[in-house]
Structure 1
Amino acid sequence: MSRSFRYPEFEDPQIRPRYTGIPTFFRTPFQETASGLDIALVGVPFDGGVTNRPGARHGPREIRNQSSLIRKMNPA
């Protein structure tokens, strides 16, 4: 059984700025359904495991924020 794998293309931040659209992990295209996917990552905000400090619920969003800064190459 031969299956081809295609890496998603990163969107050019000059065409679509990083702060627009639905925030997804590594700015991959958003999909309504899981049909045709081999794996799906879902970030669920939850503060139930933290008793004295809120803030764990911000984790999934911050992971998406930081992953939007990834580039194809480092120009340095």
Structure 2
Amino acid sequence: MKRFCEKSGKTPYILKDVFREAAVSGLISDPRIWFKFIEIRNITVHTYNEKNLELVISIFDDFSDALNELINNLEKYSGSD
């Protein structure tokens, strides 16, 4: 996403800004879901327990859908170069 933004003339330095710019550019539909993915990732990096496992499992389908959307949009834009 960051490379795509940079190719579009934007240089976001903060990850949340990358997601916001990706939404403005049409790569993703909602940056807030990506904020949530990063939040959950940060929680799971340092703690390993059943609760965190359930948290990751609970967002798996949303993450899969969002990632597929991103991949499809990147493929569309890469074909227009």
Does the TM-score normalized on the shorter chain lie above 0.5? Answer: no
TM-score (norm 2): 0.26
TM-score (norm 1): 0.27
Query: Highest CA radius of gyration, 1 or 2?
Result: 1
The structure showing larger relative contact order (alpha-carbon pairs under 8 Å, at least 6 residues apart) is 1
